[in-house]
Structure 1
Amino acid sequence: MSAGGLIRSTAVVSAMTLLSRILGFVRDMVLARAFGAGLALDAFFVAFKIPNLLRRLFGEGAFSLAFVPVLSEYREHEGADATRELVDRVSGTLALILVGVSLVGVVAAPLLVTLFAPGFLDEPGKFGLTGAMLRVTFPYILFISLVAFAGSILNTWGRFAIPAFAPVLLNLVLIAAALWAAPLFEQPVMALAWAVFLGGLAQLAFMLPGLARLGLLPRPRWGWRHPGVQKILRLMGPAVVGSSVAQINLLFDTLIASFLVTGSVSWLYFADRMVEFPLGVFGIALSTVILPSLSGRHAAEDPEGFRIILDRALRWVMLLGIPATLGLGLLAGPIITTLFQYGEFTPHQAEMSALALAAYVAGLPAFILVKVLVPGFYARQDARTPVRIAIRAMLSNMVLNIAFVVPMVMMEYRAPHVGLAVATACSAWLNAGLLYRTLRREGVYAPLPGWRPIWLRILAAAGAMTALLLWLPAPLSEWFGWGARARIEALLLAVGGGAVVYLGLLQLLGQRLDLLWRRPEVPPPSGDG
């Protein structure tokens, strides 16, 4: 893929993801206003988090990372007929396995709630409600994994818009359920569970016409012994862990948070949603685009092209990830208050969510780096290395969770859930650091010339933006007394002012964005330029 093509593709995915994230904010604002951060939303978030975690592990995570390189290899070397057969065999095998998993999940819902949120056992009402919703939401893993299968095919053929737009449908269905369907249920929050089920089905139906236009609408056939399916399965096993450390860490956070004061699960959820915004709009979008590109460069035996694509992606991570981290951290309170602190969502709940956000956001650059670095392994069909690194990161997260939270609880600190967010951020940095070091050590990646001046410009611009955001916003206590319009105006002023200062100073310092993508005229050196 050319530099311009990579920019355009990333922009398309980012635009569609931005639309989805904005609707996600609207959805969360509706949920916060309608239900507050209490028992009902705690139960729903756990019932949704379990199939959503499996989706990220097996659907968007492990499956996509394993399927795209094999599909690219078949497309490059095996021809159209063999590629279509691979699609048919993979679709049939995947669908049958997922049907079985879904049936087990529906039957074993109470056991899964016990496993993932054992603290709910002390509150029978919350435990029962969570189990009832999980029986409805669990089949989401079937629909959304097939969506990931279809999206992987479309992405490999350079059709990025349709898969990136699909999550918009889930947000629309959830918003409609909260506003209009909830009053029709004896337990209003059950409407959200059915919305998850219908949203997954709607996304799958939306993907099928795109496959038909490519001539790749699958005719599902069982293919366990097909060599391509076997290769995908071999890659998927390690990828389950290697691609999803952040999600496993968040689930472990939920497990511990279930023992803390009611509301802790929701506070962590709203904070995580804010971090997911830049991660999805930029990090996941960039990862989605570079995986087929890296896989294609590897299949074509072009290590220089592989290295150039990875270097370009890393420059964009730093250029946009650092100001996003500083902005979210410095404006955590105003952002949470402006978006969610209405109706049943109290100022105390907003303050607790903001504390969690400020802790989570310290790991944002690492979360994005992992999304960009992991494809550098899977595009080369190396699943073992990121798994070893992921296991170390997960173990560190578990240890840090206990190390931070237990002392906070013993000292009766008012916000022990913050310790969970800090531990997750620390483990993300360990994961990203080990991935980067390994790519350097194996000679897969070496920084291209020009990194040092880019770093200096970023640090200077980020410093000026930080000074502005420390001075401009009013104290958080004043935000609680303002109406929605005043909050929005003040937040837009802060965000807009910070963006103008950062980008303006970059421009004054001579940082042209197109230079980040210009192909070097000399071979890349082994040093850092």
Structure 2
Amino acid sequence: MNLLKATGTIGGLTMVSRVLGFVRDMIAARLLGASHANDAFNLAFLLPNIFRRLFAEGAFSSGFVPLFSRRLTSGGTEEAERFSNEILAVFMPALLLVTILFVIFMPAVLLVVVPEYGNTPGKLELATQLSRWTFPYLLFISMAALLAGVLNSLTRFAVAAFVPALLNIALIVGLLAAPDDDLTVVRYMAWAVLIGGIFQFALSWFAVRRAGIRLHFGRPRMTPAVRELVLLILPAMLAAGVYQISQLFYAYFSARLGEGALTMLSYADRLNQLPLSIIGTALGVAILPSISQAIARDDEADASDVQARAFDLSMLLTLPATLALMVAAFPIIGALYRAGDYSVEAAQTTASILAILVTGLPAYVLVKVLTPAFYARKDVKTPVTIAMTVLALSIPANFLLIPRIGIYS
């Protein structure tokens, strides 16, 4: 595998999606500002994405790709296809059950996560309505993540990297089509999330069929392959779950900081996530199949070589990006969001948050680059231990720092 070419393909298409995401945020900022309605939508959008990362992308891919690659190497396309269908038959009903339960009990969930929303008339009700519309997105995007695992294992990176752009396209269309009223705008956005997820799943399904893998929805059975994957991803889900719990605390703390806090934090984090996705995630996705196949061949030298090249390339690209975002935080935020209902004060606060966030960017990129080596070797204990340690430190730190420095904590 040509590491630079694979990373360039994934990173370039991820860049397209991220640019569309900024266009989406620019329009939303101009229409909604740092308002209660925008906070409610950002919360509704956060919830399915938390569970998407828990059930699908991180934990699932870390287990699925090595097992799929091993079967592809040892038994060819037919064995890999059989494995995928067995996983699909169990994965979809489990996700459907989770989706139904959360849609039914959404008011209780939000009262636990953001109890302060109940203090603003109509805000909790709006967040509940939007969350019930956006949460089924979890089902479609998680299925798309499974299909992306198949495509990435076959080193067909382009479609899987482009799929996220469809969500941003749907949201942009929803924003442009919505009447100029805050409540109507966020409702259009919530429906656009669900529609975007359907398109993401449909394109991924078509691409997998074009790649020669025939998937179908069969009867769920706990086969040896399914048991092997479950045993492998449960610890990885624990590691991912630790991070997603921290995201719930992120929503909880931001709700205590007043109107617009969640929106400003979200906009700053989107810019912080840009190099993380284009560099860190792209490299992590690109190297996991290669390391997994090298381990399957018992070729540790090749696996180490892939890891070392990814490490060097990640820092070569990340350090300049970190410096640029830190130095030019306010001009960048101002150019992207400062217009319409998004005030100068909100832009200044968002820029300060961004400058603080990017100080940890090189470390987060390295996490993305180093973690695949553990998963390829079926070592999930180390990432879990690290994730739990970080969570144990971050939650008390927020409780201590928020009264002193507020949103910047």
**TM-based fold match above 0.5:** yes
Asked if the contact 2:143/2:201 (under 8 Å) is kept, the reply is yes
Shift of 1:237: 1.3
Please name the residue that 1:81 is paired with. Answer: 78
- Residue pair 1:182, 1:189 contacting (<8 A) in 2 also: no
Task: Measure how far apart 1:73 and its partner are.
Answer: 1.3
> Aligned match of 1:373 in 359, 370, 376?
370
Quote the residue 1:407 is aligned against.
404
The alpha-carbon distance between structure 1 residues 370 and 222, as it changes in their structure 2 partners (threshold 3 A), is farther
Match of residue 141 from structure 2: 144
**In structure 2, what is the Cα distance between the partners aligned to 1:241 and 1:336?**
35
The reply on whether 1:386 has 2:383 as its aligned counterpart is: yes
Report which of the two has the higher share of helix.
Answer: 2
Q: Is 1:53 the counterpart of 2:50 in the alignment?
A: yes
Equivalent AA in structure 2 for residue 265 of structure 1:
L
Question: 172, 192, 208: which is aligned to 1:211?
Answer: 208
| CA displacement 1:105-140 (0-9 Å, x = unmatched) | 110111221222222121231111000000000011
Question: Could you give the per-residue CA deviations for residues 207-230 of structure 1, whole angstroms, max 9, x where no partner exists?
Answer: 122111222131122344211111
* 1:92 CA drift (Å): 1.2
Match of 1:78, SS? Answer: helix
**Residue type matched to 2:407 in 1?**
H
Q: Which amino acid in 2 is paired with 1:403?
A: L
Alignment of 1:93-492 (within 5 A): 93-183=90-180, 187-243=184-240, 246-408=243-405, 416-419=406-409
Report how far residue 186 of structure 1 moved: 6.2
- Paired amino acid for 1:418: Y
Q: Tell me, yes or no, if structure 1 residue 90 matches structure 2 residue 87.
A: yes
Cα displacement string for residues 448-501 of structure 1 (whole angstroms, at most 9, x for unaligned residues): xxxxxxxxxxxxxxxxxxxxxxxxxxxxxxxxxxxxxxxxxxxxxxxxxxxxxx
- Structure 1 length-normalised TM: 0.75
Report which structure shows greater RCO (CA 8 Å, sep ≥6). Answer: 2
Q: Which amino acid aligns with 1:228?
A: A
- TM-score, normalised relative to structure 2: 0.97
SS of the residue aligned with 2:122? helix
Post-superposition CA distance 1:30-60 (Å, at most 9, x none)? 1000111110110000001010111112111
Q: Conserved in 1, the CA contact under 8 Å of 2:31 and 2:182?
A: no
Distance 1:389 1:186, change over 3 A: closer
> Higher Cα Rg: structure 1 or 2?
1
More divergent stretch after superposition (183-192 vs 83-92): 183-192
- Tell me the SS of whatever aligns to 2:184: coil
Q: Select between 243-252 and 171-180 the one with higher mean Cα deviation.
A: 243-252
**Aligned-partner residue type, residue 417 of structure 1:** I
CA contact (8 A) 1:336 1:354 kept: yes
For structure 1, list consecutive stretches of 5 or more residues without a partner in the other structure. Answer: 409-415, 420-529
Partner Cα separation in structure 1 for residue 249 and residue 314 of structure 2 = 27
Contact 2:42-2:263 within 8 A present in 1 as well: yes
Say whether the 8 Å CA contact 2:50–2:247 is kept in structure 1: no
Q: CA deviation at 1:238?
A: 1.3
| Partner secondary structure for residue 62 of structure 1 | helix
From the superposition, tell whether residues 184 and 274 of structure 1 become closer, same or farther in structure 2 (CA, over 3 Å): closer
Q: Secondary structure of the residue that 2:178 maps to in structure 1? A: helix
**Percent identity of equivalent pairs:** 38
